[in-house]
Amino acid sequence: MATVKTNTVPNGSVSVEKEVAFNEFYTEVKEIEKRDSVLTPKQQIERLLRPGSTYFNLNPFEVLQIEPETSLEDAKKKYKRLSILVHPDKNQDDAERAQQAFEIINKAWKTLENEETRRKCMDVIDEAKARTDHMISEKRKRLKKEGKEGHIEEDEPTAYKHAVYVMTMKLFADMERRRRELELRDTEERKRKREQEIEEEEKASLEKEWQKNFEESRQNRVDSWKAFQSGSGSKVKSKKLKGFKPPKHKAESR
């Protein structure tokens, strides 16, 4: 009996270990299936061009479906995988939209590949976390004041992660709005300056034309004045001659 019992325990341990290993494997497979279910060309194109995508796609981590902590090497792998999926050559039945999706993925990768722009994106993530933490702190204070201390939704890791995600998207959207406002303001300023330059150019052109006409007509004015002066002198002289009466000739008396 003792021998049987000894054999049973190890076999039982092996059985439990196999069950645990199988469960882990099954969970991993399900995660892979879940991940791959949104990695078909059609689904990716739809995801990248969905309503509101203009703002969703401002976040390069969202576009490439990676975490901010993902290494650059892994991010590049994901970029290559996605770019192949949505490449227009692979989606000739929807080539135009595939091209748009392809460009969105390329832009996201270039943003992360560049050290400066990647750092700016990480600054947004850090600020999103800080604002979320502040929001949670304020919520706790409010509940404490109301005598309702206890568990809050963001205590759950998933809920906290979602709150950070929402705040991140908001910050990216705010940045884009500010960028557009500055761009519009800059465009209007450049337009105003250009209109002012055109006005000054036209004014200078008119002055130049006036000066040119003035110079060209100078001799005509001089000649006209001389002619006027000459004409006036002739009239005076002729009047004098006309008014002079020479003495009549008297016949000699013999």
C-alpha 199/C-alpha 186 separation (Å) is 20
SS3 percent helix, strand, coil of the chain, rounded to 5, is: 85, 0, 15
| pLDDT above 90 (res 12) | no
| pLDDT above 80 (res 103) | yes
Domain extents in the chain: 34-113, 115-193
pLDDT at 19: 60
C-alpha 128/C-alpha 169 separation (Å) is 9
List pLDDT tens digits, range 175-187.
888 888 888 888 8
Using alpha carbons, list the distances in angstroms from residue 164 to 56, 154, 155, 191, 224: 14, 10, 13, 40, 88
| Phi, psi dihedral angles at 235 (to 5 degrees) | -65, -40
Average pLDDT (23-46) is 64
pLDDT grade for 148, boundaries at 50, 70 and 90 = confident
C-alpha 129/C-alpha 164 separation (Å) is 6
C-alpha 53/C-alpha 172 separation (Å) is 12
CB 153 within 8 A of CB 159: yes
Tokens found for residue 226: 């001389």
Fold of the CATH domain 34-113: Helix Hairpins (1.10.287)
Using alpha carbons, list the distances in angstroms from residue 90 to 87, 95, 97, 104: 5, 8, 12, 16
Q: Is 162 exposed, middle or buried (0-12, 13-18, 19+ CB in 10 A)?
A: middle
The reply to whether the predicted model has a pTM over 0.75 is no
